[in-house]
Copies of this chain bind each other. A is one copy, B any other.
């Protein structure tokens, strides 16, 4: 088993979502082709992705929807729960806390931090905003979310690392430096807007290729 590419993991998320939909529709089996067409990729890609983790299908039939979904659930680590802390009780932080969807996927927001004295102590959802420097290893945080202004982002990330988090999700428009043992993902809306701006600035010729079957 070789190393798993980032793209493969992201597609697993999509497969998982599609399988939930398909299961809700009552389908018991699904072929790689059907899984692919919902996704907009090739069936070979689906099979390659899944083959990284084992042989889940039955030749001539396809994949058992429930079984495959549970397998992917396990692979993605969604069978257990993760303790999440959010740094920054501003708009993004508040939006994340208000969004209940994460709880369904195994992520429990157990703490919210901020440096502003005006925000510390205030209730936010079920939690009270805590002072940033009250974060410690005792909080046993698995994933730290950086939802602060860009200038504070690196300090907050350092604090998360010092508190022993194993993963960081960064919403601030700044590249963070973390030790290699800490998994880092970034959601950079500014970059997405700029990427759109570039696409819209191009002459209406070169479009991303969408291969038709």
Contact = CB atoms under 8 A, between A and B. Distances in A.
A129 to B, nearest CB: 16
Contact of A190 (B80, B101, B189): B101
Given A77-B201, A94-B95, A167 B190 contact: no
A92 interface: yes
Contact of A82 (B175, B192, B197): B197
A191 B39 contact: no
A25 B39 CA distance: 46
B3 A206 contact: yes
Give the number of times this chain occurs in the complex, counting copies.
Answer: 2
Interface residues of A, number: 64
Contacts of A91: 91, 94-95, 98-99
A180 interface: yes
Interface stretch (A12-20, A42-50, A60-68, A153-161): A12-20
21 contacts: A3-B206, A13-B188, A13-B195, A16-B194, A17-B174, A77-B200, A78-B194, A82-B197, A91-B98, A94-B95, A105-B197, A106-B197, A143-B196, A143-B200, A169-B196, A180-B207, A180-B210, A185-B192, A185-B195, A185-B196, A187-B192
